[in-house]
Amino acid sequence: MPLTLTHECIVPFAKEHDRITFDCGNDDLNRYLKQQARQDAEKHVAVPFVLLEPGSPVVRGFYTLSASIIPVEELPPDMMKKLPRYGQLPVTLLGRLAVDQTARRQGVGEFLLVDALRRCLEGSQLIGAMAVIVDAKDAQAESFYRYFDFLPFQFTPRRLFLPMRQIAQLFSDLNQKS
């Protein structure tokens, strides 16, 4: 049965959320959600957000956000010219994103990404962040993010970024359509 996707179903991770049956097909991501996510949240290392099955505590997807920095020389030269001459720049790290196998092919990954980008944009208005970055775990993950216009860093190709200005434009365009 397809999930009903609403932003109200994505909430900060809490101990009462049922993550025992979560399986995205990646042992590292499964282990993170089941054993590490709560500790990261309690220690303010990352903020995990979970997509719950409507009316249930069962987790069907998740992502994490945290503050980070990047060396300015990792950015493409044309972009570096437009930014202040700092050695490092603030960004938001989308550290992990995973979808339970039972929720695949329902647009859940895209939905989680859009929700994460919205939160990053809102946060950047309170605490500076010039982009959202991801570290693609494999070619499939890299392809997913590139489909949504993430760009590679110069020296770390699987590390991708999406400028906050571009994210703001995306939501501006979406708001004009609705």
Please tell me the distance from the alpha carbon of residue 72 to that of residue 67, in angstroms, as a whole number: 16
Q: CB within 8 A of 85, min separation 6: which ones?
A: 72
Q: Is 86 tagged catalytic?
A: no
Please tell me the distance from the alpha carbon of residue 70 to that of residue 72, in angstroms, as a whole number: 6
Query: Which among 32, 63, 86, 145 is annotated as catalytic?
Result: 145
Composition of the chain by helix, strand, coil, percent to 5:
40, 25, 35
Sign of the C-alpha dihedral computed for residues 140, 145, 149 and 154 taken in this order: negative
Strand ranges for the chain from DSSP E: 10-12, 47-52, 59-71, 88-99, 131-135, 151-152, 159-163
Total length of the chain: 178
The set of catalytic residues is 145
